[in-house]
Amino acid sequence: MKPITGSRLFTFSAMLVAARIAGAGLTFLTQIMIARWLGADTLGTYAIAMSFAGVLTIFAVTGFPSIAMRYLSAYRVEGRDDLIAGFLKASRRQLLIGACALIALSWAALALFGGTMAGDLRLALAIGAVMTVFMGALMLNGGIANAYRRPFLGFLPDTILRPVLVIVAFSALIAALGHEVTAATLMGVNLALIAGAAAVQIVLMRRRGIAASGTERTVESRSEWQRAALPMILLVLFTNYFADVDVLILGMLMPPEDVAVFNICFRFTAFIGFALKAIYQIVLPDLAEAHVREDRKGVTRAIGRANLIAVGMAVAATLTLALVGRHVLAIVGPEFVPGYGLLIVLGLSQIATAALGPNVQLMTVTGHQMRAVPAFVAGFAILVVLNLVLVPPFGLIGAGWAMVSAVMCWSVWLAVSARRLTGYEITLLALLPSRDRADAI
């Protein structure tokens, strides 16, 4: 396959970001629909169960989707069909074993300790555990498809196809059964749709020749793959599923209806995060090229440009939330209006994140991405402790400040680490001339 030119790369990146934002919007629309038609309690239970499924999936795939690009790309260039076959079969075998083990453990835990849970929540969590198999298949095959330069095949089935089908199916179900629909029922329908999306993805991948075609060879490489994959569990968990982890923690500290309010407010402000990632995605090629050329001014210029746009956008978005957020929450449902203060707090955290710059992106470009793990672990520890301390007396606003504190912890840590490891100023100070920047520090 021919290399992707710069213009095509930009076009592909823009289309991928747009598709991801569209997928997030569809998922958000689904949650608003549940909140309006079935109430905050049902949405909270559904959000907890889906977060449970997402977190379990990260452990089931054991980091293989994150290393698929690295190994499969190299094996394709080298013509090693035997190692390609070995990687594909080993990763899928690992998923199946991991998912089955997690399902068994989850069901056993629910049987032993779930007696105090509401019946709907307990059943929804049990179904969420089963989702691990199919969500893991979508995630793993998505990583494999990306390695074969089929990014749309990698994420469209889960990012666009499934959310569209979910909206259609949930609408029909609620129209037919009304308030008799429970969170467990929604989870069951979603399970069927996820399984269908995974099946469609596998069929399309086979039709495009993305399959194990050589004689399997894993004995020599399996341990290497596992060593590379296992550390990625924490990195993916804390970078992509941190909110899901927080929802699970809050599910043990507050009623489902309050979890629903937190979830909706976070989803609103998450669109700011998507925009930040889009800005960083666009500037990433300039950043990488300047680093390869050892053009320090070019790197600083790229970082400064990204920071200026990101902070401006985050401030504008948060001001918009401050002006219309209360009315928007009222549209979702009157029980969501008390989340207005939480909405503003979470918006402020996005401004702080933007001001501290594209630290993870810079560390990835310079090969230091695993150095980010301690920062995320520290942030997670702060999140757990502050949730336990702040949520019981302060409720939603306490949950918001716990999240902001955790995000600030790892963002500052990563900014300092990025500067120490790479020598580049990553925060808004990158906009200052070097002499003024030194004085500011």
Domain map of the chain by residue range?
Answer: 1-236, 241-441
Q: What pLDDT shows up at residue 419? A: 83
Q: What pLDDT shows up at residue 165? A: 94
282 neighbors 361 (Cβ within 8 angstroms) = no
Q: What pLDDT shows up at residue 94? A: 94
Q: What distance in Å separates the CA atoms of residue 414 and residue 165, rounded to the nearest whole number?
A: 39
Q: What pLDDT shows up at residue 281? A: 63
Run of H or E residues at 313: helix 296-332
149 neighbors 76 (Cβ within 8 angstroms) = no
Q: What pLDDT shows up at residue 282? A: 64
Q: What pLDDT shows up at residue 217? A: 57
Q: How confident is the model over 214-257, as pLDDT tens digits?
A: 565 555 678 888 888 888 898 888 878 889 999 999 999 999 99
Q: Where are the alpha helices (DSSP H) in 148-221?
A: 151-156, 162-177, 183-207
Residue 88's nearest CA partner among 193, 182, 221, 287 is 221
Q: What pLDDT shows up at residue 436? A: 45
Q: What distance in Å separates the CA atoms of residue 84 and residue 207, rounded to the nearest whole number?
A: 17
Q: What pLDDT shows up at residue 308? A: 83
Return the structure tokens found at 274: 């998507």
Return the structure tokens found at 436: 């003024």
Transcribe 393-425 into DSSP letters: HHTHHHHHHHHHHHHHHHHHHHHHHHHHHH---
Run of H or E residues at 18: helix 6-38
Q: What distance in Å separates the CA atoms of residue 354 and residue 310, rounded to the nearest whole number?
A: 6
Q: What pLDDT shows up at residue 2? A: 47
| pTM for this predicted structure | 0.86
Sign of CA dihedral 289, 295, 300, 302: negative
Q: Nearest-5° angle of CA 268, CA 405, CA 348?
A: 40
Q: What pLDDT shows up at residue 406? A: 94
Q: What pLDDT shows up at residue 76? A: 83
Q: What distance in Å separates the CA atoms of residue 76 and residue 145, rounded to the nearest whole number?
A: 13
Query: Which residues in the chain land under pLDDT 50?
Result: 1-6, 435-441
Q: What distance in Å separates the CA atoms of residue 53 and residue 103, rounded to the nearest whole number?
A: 10
Q: At what angle do helices 81-113 and 64-78 cross, to 10 degrees?
A: 170
